[in-house]
Amino acid sequence: MNVLTENFSTYWDGFLGTLELTVYASLLALALGFVMASFRVAPVASLRVFGTAWVTVLRNTPLTLLFFAVLLGLPRFGLVLPFEVFAILALGCYTSAFICEALRSGINTVPRGQGEAARSLGMSFGQTLSLVVLPQAFRSVIPPVGSTLIALAKNSAIAGAFSVTELLGTYRTINELGYNIVWTFVWIAVGYLIITLAISALFNLLERTYGVAR
């Protein structure tokens, strides 16, 4: 316990850093994932091409490479932001591709007749998607979206290699002070466990409330 009690402020700062990255990147991933899923099923060919390209590129790009591209590449084009913001952009954009595919799979579970009925009533594509299709699709994609956000929380550990304060990076400071490295990582694992269990509990609640009965 002395590893934790004597370095609690260090662990706490890292925990809050990881929590902040997870929350903000999750919100960005959900927003972008929704937009890209809409593009993937849009009647406009150019939007479908853009959505497909977004998913294909990001799903097949290593996350570490994406971090390098965002944190080191964007400043060369004059976009200078705090490293935390760049890390959120990298995590959010990367995860949005997986959120998009989860949402698209949910959209495909909605009977085609639902959309045709909405259009026959004079609804636009946006109205059909937001008022008819997505509310039904949401119920079937709660588990995969939850799993994707749990993966995002764990992927946030990469940000520590780019001078962003997060939980895994605390091991360097504590190790330099001569503490047992095994117990250092044990308490880091406990921190990640708290975050991932909280996400899991939230999505279990959503699934019990809104999920499809089986």
Separation of alpha carbons 69 and 63, rounded Å: 10
Predicted pLDDT of residue 105? 85
SS (H, E, C) 111-168: CHHHHHHHHHCCCCHHHHHHHHHHHHHHHHHHHHHHHHHHHHHHHHHHHHHHCCCCCC
pLDDT tier for residue 62 given thresholds of 50, 70 and 90: very high
Predicted pLDDT of residue 23? 95
Predicted pLDDT of residue 182? 80
pLDDT tier for residue 214 given thresholds of 50, 70 and 90: very low
pLDDT, tens digit (0-9, with 9 covering 90-100), for 171-211: 777 777 777 778 778 888 888 999 999 999 999 988 888 75
Please give the average per-residue pLDDT across 162-177, as a whole number. Answer: 78
Predicted pLDDT of residue 111? 72
Provide the 3-class DSSP secondary structure of residue 74: helix
Q: Give this prediction's pTM.
A: 0.86
Please give the average per-residue pLDDT across 128-136, as a whole number. Answer: 76
What's the sign of the alpha-carbon dihedral 131, 135, 137, 141? positive
Interior CA angle at 95 toward 133 and 81, to 5°? 120
Nearest to 88 by CA among 150, 20, 149: 20
Mean pLDDT score across all residues of the chain? 84
Predicted pLDDT of residue 194? 93
Q: Which has the higher per-residue pLDDT, 123 or 166?
A: 166
Whether the pLDDT of residue 54 is over 90: the answer is yes
CA 170 to chain centre: 22
